[in-house]
A = this chain, B = another copy of it.
Amino acid sequence: MTPDSTAMGPVRLTGVSHGFGARTVLRDLSLTLSERRIGIVGRNGSGKTTLSRLIAGLIAPDAGQVTVAGVDVARDRKAAIRTVGILFQNPDHQIIFPTVEEELAFGLRQLGHDKTAARAEAHAMLARFGRADWSERPVATLSQGQRHLVCLMSVLAMAPRVIVLDEPFAGLDLPTTRALRRYLDAVPAQVIHVSHDISALSGYDRAIWLEGGGVAADGPAEATLAAYLKAMEALGDADADL
């Protein structure tokens, strides 16, 4: 397992802007993320997924810089994949290979593990989540929640220092959610967790509320989430005629 991530340097965004064509999604964002458990909330389309992808280095910011533990994640991909792992919001966007074992083993091979070791670790991860019988299963024969879990296991197997999770619990059943939560509680990595389910973020060290291309609130999770919830309820009543 990797050592405690926060000792290695934080996730740092400096003056980051990003847009698609004429639409600016994030504007001049500067953040230093060093807490172990950070939640990200915000309305649909507020830029949570865009921020996640920036932190994972999958997109380069239009302006500014994103570094994780000193690594420029968009440029130095080799260091980036040891440093950050990301769970995509939609499992179908993440799965590359036709069978479960290939999917899990892929990332491990990329970290330099040899084939036998990668397979053994993939099996160990499957067993850990009580899914040892899945290794030969074609991914296409799994239900959506099951595919989601495959994606999660693939990310966790690589034991990155920072784990970015974009709606990890959406579609998982209760026991699996609980198992995952226990796993995440114990893992030494830093967790950055995007969610619409506020309760999933309770007990976190910090929460950030994105809105209108910037940060609407940032601070201890309890306070930020309470403020977000309150604002969302007020909004709900404003358009009650819907």
Known: A242-B130, A242-B182. A236 touches B143 (CB 8 A): no
Interface readout for A40-73 with B: 1 if CB under 8 Å, 0 if not?
0011110001000000000000000000000000
Question: Could you tell me if A173 and B232 are in contact, using CB atoms closer than 8 angstroms?
Answer: yes
From B20, B176, B239, A179 is in contact (CB under 8 Å) with: B239
Assembly of this chain: how many copies? 2
Q: Which of these, B43, B130, B171, contacts A173 with CB under 8 Å?
A: B43
Give the residue name and chain of the B residue nearest to A242 (CB): B179
CB-defined contacts of A236 to chain B, threshold 8 Å: 174-175, 178-179
Q: Taking the complex as formed, is A144 at the interface, i.e. its CB lies under 8 A from any CB of chain B?
A: yes
Question: Given contacts A44-B143, A174-B236, A179-B236, could you give 16 more A-B pairs where the C-beta distance is less than 8 Å?
Answer: A20-B141, A42-B173, A44-B145, A44-B146, A44-B176, A45-B142, A49-B143, A89-B171, A90-B90, A90-B144, A170-B170, A173-B196, A174-B196, A174-B229, A179-B239, A183-B242
Q: Which residues from chain A sit less than 8 Å from chain B, CB to CB? A: 20-21, 23, 42-45, 49, 89-90, 92-93, 128-130, 141-146, 149, 167, 170-179, 182-183, 196-198, 229, 232-233, 235-236, 239-240, 242
How many whole Å from A144's CB to the nearest CB in chain B?
Answer: 5
Quick check: A232 and B144 within 8 Å, CB to CB?
no
| Assembly CA distance A145 to B194 (angstroms) | 13
Which of these, B45, B142, B176, B233, contacts A146 with CB under 8 Å? B45
In the complex, A183→B241 CA distance in Å? 10
A171 engages B196 (CB within 8 Å): yes
Cα A20 to Cα B137 in complex, Å, equals 13
Given the known inter-chain contacts A145-B45, A146-B44, A242-B130, please indicate yes or no for A171 contacting B174, CB distance below 8 A. no
Cα–Cα, bound, A149→B43 (Å)? 13
Distance in Å from the Cβ of A196 to the closest Cβ of chain B?
A: 6
